[in-house]
């Protein structure tokens, strides 16, 4: 009986290198990752598998050690994630901004305003429909902070306030169908095709500034993660090459994400 040759393991250098990145629907649905990740893989040989969820869910995934790195946009939540020992080396990466969109008929009379909290107060007074993501995303957390700043319990408004439990794209679809107001990041709005009667009504408030942070999941707590390759991603994202790749992403000629320190004033 012939002895079969032993099965040899592939050399480490030849093994597939893949990391899991927990991130947001805005970075996925805007098309940013479709632009960014092929550049990163060409330069490093590392593939990135994105789990695109709301920031709250992304932080929860990281807190279970089910991702190698995070790219999210809720600074209070990010700081808590690191303080709790789940992540290390949080870094500023990029920013864009939120805008309030709504029907062109604008029953709440907010068009042209630059005060987001005043706009929400007018929407509430008009009992106009508002579509909320309601998914504990960075966008949803920002929206709820704005309602609180306006002194309004959004959930107490009544049936005009709709919590959808959806990502940004489906929420925009619902807002378009309902002729409702909503808060969206500018990048997802730029890539959104089914606008129907929706237009940008409020923008430029500093409270609508939307920074993103990269965090490495803590390998001391979760030794099973792909820490070395995650660090390559983390370093690349904040390097000149990564910053240039972020800045080069445009839709219809409009730059939608700005590396930290480069966003023009509103």
Task: Give the separation between CA 88 and CA 82, rounded to whole angstroms.
Answer: 6
**Two structure tokens written together for 223:** 């030794």
Element spanning 163, H or E: strand 161-163
Task: Say if residues 40 and 62 touch (Cβ distance below 8 Å).
Answer: no
The pLDDT score that the predictor gives to residue 15 is 62
pLDDT tens sequence across 205-247: 999 999 999 999 999 999 999 999 999 999 999 999 999 999 9
| CA-wise closest residue to 77 among 57, 106, 51 | 57
User: Can you name the residues that pair with 161 across neighbouring β-strands?
Assistant: 130
Looking at domain 17-95+211-259, its CATH architecture is 3-Layer(aba) Sandwich (3.40)
The pLDDT score that the predictor gives to residue 5 is 39
Task: Give the separation between CA 59 and CA 84, rounded to whole angstroms.
Answer: 11
Is the predicted pLDDT of residue 4 greater than 70, yes or no? no
Task: Give the separation between CA 243 and CA 239, rounded to whole angstroms.
Answer: 6
The pLDDT score that the predictor gives to residue 157 is 86
**Two structure tokens written together for 111:** 């068009």
pTM: 0.86
The Cβ-side half-sphere exposure at 110, using a 13 Å CA radius, reads 29
Q: Confidence class of residue 13 from pLDDT cuts 50, 70 and 90?
A: very low
User: Can you name the residues that pair with 49 across neighbouring β-strands?
Assistant: 20
**Two structure tokens written together for 134:** 């309601």
pLDDT tens sequence across 78-97: 999 999 999 999 999 999 99
CATH 3.40.630.30 fits 96-208, yes or no: no
- What residue spans define the domains of the chain? 17-95+211-259, 96-208
Q: Confidence class of residue 10 from pLDDT cuts 50, 70 and 90?
A: very low
Mean pLDDT check: name the lowest of 1-15, 36-50, 61-75.
1-15
Torsion of CA 224, 227, 233, 235, to 10 degrees: 160
Task: Say if residues 216 and 55 touch (Cβ distance below 8 Å).
Answer: no
| CA-wise closest residue to 174 among 78, 102, 97 | 102
* Fold match flag (17-95+211-259 vs 96-208): yes
């Amino acid at each position: 009986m012939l002895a079969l040759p032993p099965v040899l393991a592939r050399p480490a250098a030849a093994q597939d290198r893949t990391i899991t990145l927990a991130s947001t629907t805005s970075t996925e649905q805007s098309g940013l990752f479709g632009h960014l990740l092929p550049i990163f893989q060409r330069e490093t040989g590392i593939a990135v598998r994105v789990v695109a969820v709301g920031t709250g869910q992304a932080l929860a995934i990281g807190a279970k050690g089910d991702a190698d790195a995070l790219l999210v946009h809720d600074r209070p939540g990010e700081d808590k994630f690191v303080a709790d020992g789940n992540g290390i080396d949080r870094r500023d990466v990029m920013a864009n901004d939120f805008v309030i969109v709504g029907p062109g008929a604008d029953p709440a009379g907010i068009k042209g305003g630059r005060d987001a909290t005043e706009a929400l107060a007018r929407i509430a007074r008009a009992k106009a429909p508002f579509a909320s993501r309601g998914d504990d995303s960075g966008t949803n957390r920002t929206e709820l902070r704005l309602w609180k700043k306006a002194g309004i319990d959004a959930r107490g408004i009544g049936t005009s306030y709709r919590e959808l439990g959806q990502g940004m794209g489906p929420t925009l679809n619902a807002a378009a169908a309902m002729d409702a107001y909503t808060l969206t990041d500018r990048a997802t709005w730029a890539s959104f095709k089914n606008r129907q009667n929706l237009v940008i009504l409020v923008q430029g408030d500093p409270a609508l500034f939307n920074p993103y942070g990269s965090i490495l999941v803590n390998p001391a707590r979760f030794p099973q993660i792909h820490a070395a390759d995650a660090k390559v991603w983390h370093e690349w994202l904040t390097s000149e090459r990564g910053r240039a790749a972020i800045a080069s992403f445009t839709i219809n000629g409009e730059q939608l994400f700005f590396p930290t320190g480069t966003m023009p004033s509103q």
